[in-house]
Structure 1
């Protein structure tokens, strides 16, 4: 086994491991539990190590170095075009939570949360809030 990447935090290593496993590359993480137990040791022991077989090391490094953010942006743009505002028909919808501020104020005043907010979308063009189930 060969180290292909080092990470300061275990969750970063888990994300990288998932990327490699999705590509069919077997890998393992070393020192994850040590860093979880005592995170101040991370720099001292060289962080959390991601290990792969030597024959897959070059491919693994190229996968980890690839930036997939453009593909994610394109898929989000394609997904949002199917939903439209029921008020004006616009496709410019933004995720929005209605009632978040008032729920926070109630939590501060009463000391316990009363969650009466709704998740949905707000139209960028007309400003109308639409609960998540009503968009099409």
Structure 2
């Protein structure tokens, strides 16, 4: 096995390892636990090393050098259209401009501060940007 990348922090190495495993490339992290225990040693040791088999090194470097931010942004745009379907409309004004919203978070936090333990009486739903109406289900 040879080193294809080095990372200062283990969480960065795990993200890269997951990318490689998604492509079917078996990889191994070296010095991960040492850096977790004493993160100041990371630079002295050369960081967390991501290692793959010699035959797959070039393919692994290609995958790690790819920028997938465009794919993530396009997925976020697709996910944002979930709330704008014809069936998803405010029951009060009929607007399709809805946002996910949790009602009652502030009072729950105040109760936690006063009593020292949480009372969960908040509700998840959607809030209309046009008329500020809260709806639990659509």
Matched residue, 2:132: 127
- Using the size of structure 1 for normalisation, the TM-score is 0.81
Q: Determine if contact 2:30/2:51 at 8 Å carries over to the other structure.
A: yes
- Using the size of structure 2 for normalisation, the TM-score is 0.80
SS state at 2:57 partner: helix
Deviation at 1:17, TM superposition (A): 0.6
Q: Determine if contact 1:80/1:93 at 8 Å carries over to the other structure.
A: no
In structure 1, the gaps of 5 or more residues are: none
Over aligned residue pairs, what C-alpha RMSD do you find?
Answer: 2.0
Shift in alpha-carbon separation, 1:119–1:48, aligned structure 2, 3 A = farther
SS state at 2:82 partner: coil
Between 14-23 and 111-120, report the one with greater CA deviation: 111-120
Matched, 1:85 2:70: no
Matched residue, 1:53: 53
In structure 2, the gaps of 5 or more residues are: none
Q: Determine if contact 1:85/1:130 at 8 Å carries over to the other structure.
A: no
SS state at 1:85 partner: coil
Deviation at 1:20, TM superposition (A): 0.5
Size of the aligned set, in residue pairs, is 132
Deviation at 1:29, TM superposition (A): 0.5
Matched, 1:37 2:37: yes
Matched residue, 1:17: 17
Between 50-59 and 77-86, report the one with greater CA deviation: 77-86
Cα displacement string for residues 33-64 of structure 1 (whole angstroms, at most 9, x for unaligned residues): 11122222222211111111222222212212
Bigger-Rg structure (1/2): 2
Deviation at 1:108, TM superposition (A): 1.2
